[in-house]
Chains A and B, each alone.
Chain A
Amino acid sequence: MKKQKTRSWLLALLLMPALALAEGDETEWTSKIKNQYFAGKSIEESNDIIEIEAPYRAEDPALVPIKIVSKIPQTKDSYIKKVLVLVDKNPFPYVGEFEFAPESGKADLAMRVRVNTYSNISAIAEMNDGKLVMTKKFVKASGGCSAPIGADLDAAMQRLGKMKFRLDEGVKIGEPNLAQLLISHPNITGMQMDQVTRFVKKSHFVKEVRVSFNDKPILTAKTDIAISADPNFRFYFVPDKAGVLKAEVSDTSCESPTSRDACTAGNSYSETYTLNP
């Protein structure tokens, strides 16, 4: 009995460092990311404002569905102003910065991301009073950024820029309504490039998404290569009356996948959805 106890204790001891390394690796965050985005600022770690839902092990590292779930309602006096999402260990950790408004109703956001290696996904919420709150989730995935471009590249290029809104749960005035925005775009990371043949020249990705209702912003996103091909966002908005939901999207192309110093502006696309409850 005693011997068994000792053995399991030993086993736990042996396993512990490995687990600690895999699950709690904060190196990127403490050595680089914190200073890059929040130098000198204090950030509270908590799941009381937002939390991340993500699969522990991803089926497809280039298409990992994640969801930011907000724990507080968006009101005029107190609301989540921004959420910065990062995949700590990606070659370019920045996924996107998402700005919400009181009119968003709920600062929930579902999207699909690329995860290049076992990594924490970090989301940092900035409240309207400037308070910063961070939450993290560990995801096991590998190769999401350099993974081959979508299965049928030609089909993807042909429908580039096409967009759709879906409001599958119906529309209710004065309440948070769930909307889905689908953007057809290969969102090329530039890391799939072949140096010799240069079949895929460089990164080519959606850099900005602005969603408004009757011209009032609901969601404004600055996004990057860690967003999966065919960007897909689900978010809330509170319509005060009938009107028009509008998405304006623009893309860019950068020389290097991991630097934003040399980029060329791309095209803009837009889509509207008329709400007639």
Chain B
Amino acid sequence: MRFLFALILSAGSAYATAAQVLSVTEVAPGIYTHRGVHELPDTKNHGAIANIGFIVGEHCVAVIDTGGNPQQGESLKLAIKHATSKPVCYVINTHVHPDHIYGNKAFKEAGVKFVGHEKLARAMATRGAYYIDKAADQLDVKLTADDIIPPDIAVKDHLDIDLGGRTLKLTAHSAAHTDNDLTVYDEQTDTLWISDLLFIEHLPVIDGSLKGWLAELEILESHPYKTVIPGHGPIVKDWPKSMQPEKDYLEMLLTEIRAMIKQGKYLEEAVETVGYSAKGQWQLFDQFHRKNVTTAFAELEWEN
């Protein structure tokens, strides 16, 4: 009896580092998401902070973003196995950021096509070495070049992919959150997987174009989607209302920074003064706001 107990214990510890089944919720028929946490990527969460998930068709499954480390990718793979017996046929990366692509390798096998924005491969190539280097220090995650998997299918403008009885409409956007944002629309449930074009609660992070992002939101807000899945924050059932705080924040940056540039003020001053009225409304404001002002200022000083 004691022997058996010891055996179970040792088996337990041996598997302690293996992937656990990722918790997912079916937010619309056949659409499963895992809710991320509003934290900076660090050595405790190992970069697993974003909303990720999958969509199940009659023939196969499309994974949408694979997670913040290879193990989260494995956990997501287990969650898919629990939810359906259908195989994965597509892995869609919504953009280049580490919390969305570091689980890619778990899905690399024959029959699986990786899909991304036409500029995703370039972004992965120019950032890859830097990302791999940083992952060890900042996330305590060991990555190699094999973990950064560029798309097999590059989306320019639009692409429909068929999961069997379910068509996903992919849209490649102009520079907004990054210069390689891709959204996924499921016609069947009127769901838009908008990913990091929408941040809720977590301060939006600009790594593409402030003006471009506002332009994309203006297009997207005219459609009354039933469900919208953001990259960070809760599932949205009242689009476009839930998007308003993000839009307000980005518009405020645009207005205030433009005014400062017009007055001949400098980046150094803008970083100290612009946008602090929004501080109470967002999580991770202190971590990302000054960087946002910097990125936006550098963009706006080249207007006209």
List residues of chain A with CB under 8 Å of any chain B CB.
Answer: 59-60, 63, 65, 110, 112, 143, 146-155, 159, 162, 166, 168-169, 182, 184, 192-194, 196-197, 199-200, 229-230, 232, 234
Contact = CB atoms under 8 A, between A and B. Distances in A.
A151 B179 contact: yes
B121 interface: yes
Nearest to A229: B298
A152 B126 contact: no
Nearest to A182: B301
15 contacts: A59-B290, A60-B295, A143-B133, A148-B127, A151-B179, A151-B206, A152-B208, A153-B122, A154-B175, A155-B209, A168-B263, A184-B302, A194-B128, A194-B129, A199-B121
Given A60-B291, A166-B264, A184-B302, A152 B127 contact: no
Interface string B149-168: 00000000000000000000
Interface centre among A148, A182, A193, A232 (most CB of B within 10 A): A148
Contacts, number: 88
Contact of B298 (A150, A169, A197): A150
B27 interface: no
A63 B294 contact: yes
A194 to B, nearest CB: 4
Interface in B97-134: 119, 121-123, 125-130, 133-134
Interface centre among A151, A169, A184 (most CB of B within 10 A): A151
Interface in B270-304: 271, 290-291, 294-295, 298-299, 301-302
Interface residues of B, number: 35
Contact of A234 (B122, B266, B290): B266
A163 B206 CA distance: 25
Nearest to B265: A168
Contact of A192 (B121, B126, B145): B126
Contact of B130 (A59, A143, A199): A143
Contacts of B179: 151-154
B212 interface: yes
Contacts of B206: 151
